[in-house]
Amino acid sequence: MAIRAVLFDWNGTLVKHAPSETFSVASLAIDAYARRNLGVEAAAGSFGRAFSAVVPPYVPGADEACPPVTKFVGEAFTWLSWPAGASDVDACSRLLFAQSTRGTEVYDDARALLASLAYRGYRVAVVSNTFFPGSYFQSVVNELGLQGHIHSFVSSADVGLLKPNPAPFLRALADLGLEPHDAIYVGDSPETDIPGARAAGMRAILLQRSGRIRDRAGFLVIERLTALNEFLGEGMVS
């Protein structure tokens, strides 16, 4: 059956993982917001410590619930006894996102492949494990010059469940108006991406940029995204 769409993971697949210090910088920005707008004496690192205390540890493939970031930001403010309203929680959630995604870089092979997929008529979606809503990412997609190449961006927060639960994959397929057999999924996590896509009824491909190309447990493993060109063929455009 013909493939009509390609769904991708985000971090580690289409874009490079953010530097480890990114969250620290983002949390300092919220400390500054609190001093400026909430009238509190927020010492540097206050929000970061509170946020880490209220967010449960992430275990790939194990935890399923994924509340939106606003829940955790609100709980962190409560933990700190900061007098924040709903508008402050929303503003700081967006500030945390903006700072955390600052300097996002697209892999060269991802940029080339997305342009090729658009030219050949494929539909494209992103399914990402993150507590940031998918709508937040539209500005990043635009800034990266990928508008028009990505037709849906679904985060686990949008459905309240983490990959490998199939719900985020099925939401993306619904956005595209397609069935699981119409699409393939490409991601870099064997714990979340591959079992999640397969649970949704899709074919799955594992990206291992530092690995060796090989078949593994019944699914294809590739080193670069451009290897998908051979797998997909000429595409939807005749």
Which DSSP string corresponds to 45-107?
THHHHHHHHHSPPP-TTT--B---HHHHHHHHHHHHT----HHHHHHHHHHHHHHHTTT--B-
- AA identity, residue 71: K
Residue 237 clears pLDDT 50, i.e. is over it: no
Q: What pLDDT, on a 0 to 100 scale, did the predictor assign at position 216?
A: 59
* pLDDT higher at 169 or 212: 169
> What mean pLDDT is predicted for residues 55-62?
85
Residue 75 clears pLDDT 70, i.e. is over it: yes
Residue 236 clears pLDDT 80, i.e. is over it: no
**pTM exceeds 0.85, yes or no:** yes
> What mean pLDDT is predicted for residues 128-153?
96
> What mean pLDDT is predicted for residues 180-206?
95
Q: Which residues contact 167 (CB under 8 A, 6 or more apart)?
A: 159, 160, 161
> What mean pLDDT is predicted for residues 169-188?
97
Q: Which conformational region is residue 160 in: left (phi greater than 0), alpha (psi within -120 to 50 degrees), or beta? A: left
Tokens standing for residue 44: 């540097």
Q: What are phi and psi of 236, to 5 degrees?
A: -85, -15
**Bond prior to 180 in cis (omega within 30° of 0):** no
What is the rounded average pLDDT for all residues in the chain? 92
